[in-house]
Each structure stands twice: as structure tokens, then as C-alpha cells.
Amino acid sequence: MCYHRIAKNQQYDAEGLIDIFRQYGDHLYSKGDHNGAIEQYIKTIGKLEPSYVIRKFLDSQHIDNLTTYLQALHKNGQATEDHTTLLLNCYTKLNHTDKLKEFIMVSYICKTKYLLIYLYNIYIYIYIYFTSALRCIYIYIFFFCYFINLD
């Protein structure tokens, strides 16, 4: 974008660019362009505290945008256990069973020692909130990953 080129030409440092992305994201958010805002906030990953973005998009009307941001946090290796739990909850609320299965099967998650904690939290959530048909799908994922060699 134009502002990015101008900032580089003015020799802004990395923090200056991050601040520009955050401010532009805030501007787009205030104008109701939540997709555009998320694109800007994703550019700040690793520099801007994720909770700044998550708080903005935590309500149910913006769950798609929150999911996009959380996916980017994971892709960039900046996600914590809480971010992972939140992402799995987003997938569940959006009924994105394919994305949930794919996420759980991805090697960088299946190899972590925290996988069973995530799966257990999801299992409890599923048992409480979903019908028996959906429970079967999620329970299958839970037990499949449980028996994978995690070490």
C-alpha cells in the first residue's frame, strides 16, 4: 500500500511501521471494515500484543475475523496455549469441523505436549453443547489424537 512505501522511504524503523499498521487497523475497525483491519493487525504479529486485537474482535459478531487473526498467530509461531484454545473454540462455534480436524492433525500441534489439554477442553465443551451426532465426530478426533505418539 502507499502508506507502507512512504514509511519505508522516510526510513521508519520496524516499530514505526508496526505503529502505522496498528493505527490504520484501528481506523479501518472504526469505519466498520473489519476484514481490512484484521489484515493490518496481522502485519503487527510478533510486535503488537495479541490481546490488543483479540479484545476488539472477541464478540460473536466478529468471530470470523478473530479466527483469521488466531490462525495467523499460529502460522507465525506466536500463539500461546490460550490462543490455541480460543481458536479451537472459534472453530467449534462456527461449526468448521473440517478446519478443526485439519488443525488438530497438523504435525506442529500433534507433537506438542499440550495437545491432550486442548482436546480435553474441547471434548468437555462438545459434550455440553452439541448433539450426539456432532459429539461422535469430535470424540473421534479426540481419541484419534490421543493415540498418536506425541513424543
Per-residue pLDDT tens over the stretch 71-117: 999 888 898 888 988 998 898 889 888 888 788 776 455 555 566 66
pLDDT, position 149:
46
- pLDDT tens for 19-69 read 999 999 999 999 999 999 999 999 999 999 999 999 999 987 899 999 999
In the prediction, which pLDDT does 37 show? 96
C-alpha torsion angle, residues 90, 95, 97, 101 (rounded to 10): 10
39/35 Cα distance (integer angstroms)? 6
The residues near 36 (Cβ < 8 Å, ≥ 6 apart) are 25, 28
Reported confidence tier of residue 142, pLDDT bands at 50, 70, 90: low
126-141 average pLDDT score:
65
Sketch the domain layout of the chain as residue ranges. Answer: 1-74, 80-151
